[in-house]
Amino acid sequence: MTRRIVVDTDTGIDDAHTLLYLAGRPDAEIVAVTSVFGNCVEPDAARNIAYVNRLLGLDVPIARGAGEPLTGTAHIAGYVHGKDGLGDVGYDRPLPETTGESAAELLVRLGREQPGELDLLALGPLTNLGQALRIDPELFTRYRSVVLMGGSGPYAQPGELLMVDANINNDPEAARAVFSAPRNELVMVGVNVTATTILDEVAINALRAAGTPVARFATEILDAYLDFYQNEWGRRIIPLHDPLAAGILLDPTFATASVDGPVNVRTDGFLARARLMRTHDGLPPAFPYQPAPPTKVITEVDAARFVADFVEVLTR
């Protein structure tokens, strides 16, 4: 079965990889793409969508979205993805023609026009989704599923630390609206699992050796990302954050364990995370929490099988 997907993206390096992956999968059809701030400023996210679409020969509607969170100021991750979001390689990236709607308006219109037929894949801060829910509080019931890259899973075992939950931290208010909204299915693919899905030196060399336009672009944009992540592991390797969310949307068996339950967005005073309201051993947390409809929270993945699929798709 082909999944018809609307992609909401703050088009940085792993977002671009995700678009390449979706376009290379025979069971995926990209229906529309919307831009949001995050990995880069929103105009660059829109430019990057258009650049990747041209590379792929993909002609789909693009709508421009939020340049800042619902409240507060935007945090832009240029130190991770390069100032332009694609590693500052120097591509010619004119602004795209758009539908004339906001991203939120496009998400609402497509959901109403094609109820139950589309999947929504959210790869950046959830601001566009939060704005769309203000227009249509039943929005997520109109999509077959909503899959998002964000969140931190259940509470970790004592002594275990996680990567920053950037997409949630960039707009906690929008994230709270998303996790409390009625839905058909909401799937959270968080940093608890994406950080384990590593594109290592062997896989990166396989991409470099492929020589196809897609594989060449995928490796050209990697240096800024590798520069950042070498500080995490002492090796020039990267996690496949956003691509894993796309993989699980298309093939749920990439997820080997999940828990359905309420997700709250909570802050420690510095950073916000979306958490399943369970400890690592399945118990409720030691504090009161807000009730919420169940979210499918991915807790374990077959990282090796997904990475192999990702490399195979991008090197065809």
Residue 254: DSSP 8-state: G
Could you tell me the pLDDT band of residue 288, with boundaries at 50, 70 and 90?
very high
The overall average pLDDT reported for the chain is 97
User: What are the b/e assignments for 210-229, b being 16+ CB within 10 Å?
Assistant: beeebbebbbebbebbbebb
d(C-alpha 260, C-alpha 265), whole Å: 16
177-220 per-position pLDDT tens digit: 999 999 999 999 999 999 999 999 999 999 999 989 999 999 99
Query: Looking at residue 23, what is its pLDDT?
Result: 98
Given pLDDT bands bounded at 50, 70 and 90, which one contains residue 161? confident
Angstrom distance (rounded) from CA 70 to CA 131: 8
What is the per-residue DSSP string for 137-165? TTGGGGSSEEEEE----SPPPTT------
Domain positions in the chain:
3-314
CA atoms of 15 and 25, how far apart (whole Å): 15
- What are the φ and ψ backbone dihedral angles of 191, each rounded to 5 degrees? -65, -20
Closest-CA residue to 224 (of 98, 77, 97):
77
Say whether pLDDT at 243 is over 90.
Answer: yes
Q: Where are the beta strands (DSSP E) in 21-144?
A: 28-35, 62-63, 118-122
Cα–Cα dist 241/258, whole Å? 17
From 17, 75, 241, 280, active-site residue: 241
Backbone angles phi, psi at 281, to 5 degrees: -100, 15
Q: What is the DSSP letter of 4?
A: E
AA letter at 105: E
Cα–Cα distance for residue pair 39/263, rounded to 1 Å: 24
24-77 confidence digits (pLDDT tens):
999 999 999 999 999 999 999 999 999 999 999 999 999 999 999 999 999 999
User: Across residues 135-164, what is the average pLDDT?
Assistant: 96
**Model confidence, pTM:** 0.98
Residue 81 a catalytic site member: no
Q: Letter for the amino acid at 109?
A: R
Correct CATH for 3-314 of 1.10.645.10, 3.30.2130.10, 3.90.245.10, 1.10.1050.10:
3.90.245.10
pLDDT in tens, 37-49: 999 999 999 999 9
Asked if residue 74 lies in contact with residue 67, where contact means CB atoms within 8 angstroms, the answer is yes
The per-residue pLDDT for 79 is 93
